[in-house]
Amino acid sequence: MDFPELILASASPRRRALLSELGLRFSVTSPEVDESARPGEVPEALCERLARLKAEACPCSSGPTLVLAADTVVVVEERVLGKPRDDEENREMLALLEGRFHLVLTGVALKLGSRFLSSVEKTKVYFRPLSEALRASYVATGEGRDKAGGYAIQGKGSILVERLEGDYFNVVGLPLCRVGLMLEELGFSPASFWGC
The 8-class DSSP code of residue 73 comes to E
Indicate which CATH number applies to the domain containing 12.
3.90.950.10
- For position 73, what pLDDT does the model report? 93
- Region 20-49: mean pLDDT is 90
Where does the chain have alpha helices with state H? 13-21, 43-57, 87-97, 132-141, 168-172, 176-185, 190-194
**Annotated active-site positions, please?**
71
- For position 196, what pLDDT does the model report? 64
Domain that holds residue 186: 5-194
Mean pLDDT, the chain, whole residue set:
92
User: How many structural domains compose the chain?
Assistant: 1
> Does the pLDDT of residue 192 top 90, yes or no?
no
